[in-house]
Structure 1
Amino acid sequence: MTNDLPVRIVDGRVVANAGIGPVAMVWLPLDGQVIAKIPARKGNRRWLHGTVGIRSPEFNGDRWNLPRSSLVRLVTGAVDRFGFIVLWRDMAKLSRCTRACLEATGVECQCSCLGAHHGQDAAGWFERVGDAVVGEQGQFTRTGVVYGARGSDANAVVYDGELAVQLYCVDRAGRRDWPTAAQFMCASCMTVRASVWDHCHTHGFVRAPLTELTREFLQVRRPLR
């Protein structure tokens, strides 16, 4: 991983640039529930229940035990809410990369490519922003991958209400016809490219594309209820 990334893994530790704040992390073991450690904020349980769609999020100490089926929604929502998320993933050493891996639409991967190719043929709402870090753990291999908002190669344009009256969601089917936030200028500062979609926490509607730092600033001024 290069040192110019805002969030990176150095010697097995997550390092973030100044201003990024605590980084959300999730661990996908070979079996069992997903373990998530997300920045402590008021409304985390409500966010996991209402936005990510987890019926009964289980809090244990400083981390959450969540169903494996929620992984893609969790990563999508965490990128919008926190800017980045680090996915630690355990994979059996004897697994092999197949075409099914390339065509997959999620981040759960158990093959020898270490997740490098997983889902690259599918349009998603987040993307890898750093290389996987590998560690040997007996009968399996552990990788750590940093995910951020999906970028855009097109010139950013001014947002013109393309998602007006659209309810915010994190599931792939609900976002099928959405443009990426990176296709627009930040609706607040109008000087840099947006990266995430902001939404109204009271009514649930998409507000506008923002940079993650702008969204964070606005969140402080109007805390999640």
Structure 2
Amino acid sequence: MTADLPVRIVDGRVVTNPGIGPVAMLWLPLHGEVIAKIPPRKGNRGWLHETVGIRSPKLDDDRWKLPRSCLVRLVTAAIDRYGYIVLWRDMSKLSQCTRACLEATGVECQCSCLGAHHGQDAAGWFERVGDAVVAEQGEYTRTGVVYGPRGSDSNASVYDGELAGERYRVDPPGRRKWPTAARFMCASCMTAQASVWDHCHTHGFVRAPLCNRCNTRYWRGWRPQHGRATHGRNFDDSYYRWCPEHANQWRRCSA
């Protein structure tokens, strides 16, 4: 049922379950730039520039105006950062998947499916959560879709450095040979299946797969007003060691 989903759209509003926290919201109009409303954090501009690969992100009040070409990278990176994103998309009522779309192997897509109907390699890093919300807006149609990390049917195993030394990437070619995070148990709490790949923001290396709860542990603290429950006693940050520069950083700090 829809009420069981962690993030859902109800009467045009985004509703999240306790413990999920704020999620990113993106709007793709018929023409022009992507409009992104992301939870305010120190370092958002650096994240958009360094991680998503946007040369000059523009902030207008509380919304970022970003190039359309960054859409798939932005969705991938935002899911890793927040666990879920909501994408609002305006499209012409005449928009439909063409043969070129159905046979495509890349993820860049100008039609309404956002790559959902592409080849096996196209939709490997995120998937739709729940049903799409559709609203008629005169000459165009607006859809609202919640996206989350792609799951796995295999039994979750303990992470053993399968991506050790890998630079964190959000572009599809860079992730082509990566396993899904859901293949592993969360490297922090070890009680839940992982959903996203955590990375070291200082050095840019992949650290470990985490569940959404552990991934958002440090952003605003575990305060009830921010929708986060108290973390478990078995919270463990030893997965930081998977960044190859972690030990050197601590040696420099203690010198």
- The two structures share one fold, judged by TM-score above 0.5: yes
The secondary structure found in structure 2 opposite 1:94 is coil
Q: Cα–Cα, structure 1 residues 87 and 99, in superposed 2: closer, same or farther, change >3 Å?
A: same
Report whether the alignment pairs 1:52 with 2:47.
no
Aligned to 1:119: 118
Aligned to 1:182: 182
CA–CA separation in structure 1 for the residues paired with 2:195 and 2:205: 18
Which string of whole-angstrom CA distances, capped at 9 and with x for unpartnered residues, describes residues 38-87 of structure 1? 00111100000000000000000110000000000000000000110000
Aligned to 2:75: 75
Flag the structure with larger Rg.
Answer: 2
CA–CA separation in structure 2 for the residues paired with 1:158 and 1:100: 40
Aligned pair count reads 220
Q: Cα–Cα, structure 1 residues 117 and 217, in superposed 2: closer, same or farther, change >3 Å?
A: closer
Correspondence 1:1-225 to 2 at 5 A = 2-104=2-104, 105-106=106-107, 108-111=109-112, 117-119=116-118, 121=120, 122-220=122-220
The secondary structure found in structure 2 opposite 1:198 is strand
**Identical-residue share of aligned pairs (%):** 71
The secondary structure found in structure 2 opposite 1:71 is helix
CA–CA separation in structure 2 for the residues paired with 1:53 and 1:175: 15
* 1:191, distance to aligned residue in structure 2 (A): 1.6
CA–CA separation in structure 1 for the residues paired with 2:81 and 2:33: 22
CA–CA separation in structure 2 for the residues paired with 1:102 and 1:50: 32
Native 8 Å contact 2:102 2:117 kept in 1: yes
Coordinate RMSD, CA, aligned: 1.9
The secondary structure found in structure 1 opposite 2:174 is coil
Native 8 Å contact 2:107 2:123 kept in 1: no
CA–CA separation in structure 1 for the residues paired with 2:201 and 2:114: 33
The secondary structure found in structure 1 opposite 2:2 is coil
CA–CA separation in structure 1 for the residues paired with 2:212 and 2:150: 12
CA–CA separation in structure 2 for the residues paired with 1:219 and 1:119: 35
Native 8 Å contact 2:115 2:123 kept in 1: no
The letter of the residue matching 2:40 is A
Q: Give unpaired runs (5+ residues) of structure 2.
A: 222-236, 238-255
The secondary structure found in structure 1 opposite 2:215 is helix
CA–CA separation in structure 2 for the residues paired with 1:96 and 1:108: 11
The letter of the residue matching 2:118 is G
Give the TM-score normalised by the residue count of structure 2: 0.81
The letter of the residue matching 1:31 is H
The letter of the residue matching 1:119 is H
Native 8 Å contact 2:101 2:109 kept in 1: no
CA–CA separation in structure 2 for the residues paired with 1:21 and 1:211: 13
CA–CA separation in structure 1 for the residues paired with 2:28 and 2:182: 28
Q: Give unpaired runs (5+ residues) of structure 1.
A: none
* 1:35, distance to aligned residue in structure 2 (A): 0.3
Q: Cα–Cα, structure 1 residues 10 and 120, in superposed 2: closer, same or farther, change >3 Å?
A: farther
CA–CA separation in structure 1 for the residues paired with 2:204 and 2:153: 29
The secondary structure found in structure 1 opposite 2:130 is coil
CA–CA separation in structure 2 for the residues paired with 1:101 and 1:193: 33
The secondary structure found in structure 1 opposite 2:131 is coil
CA–CA separation in structure 2 for the residues paired with 1:123 and 1:142: 21
CA–CA separation in structure 1 for the residues paired with 2:16 and 2:32: 29
Give the TM-score normalised by the residue count of structure 1: 0.91
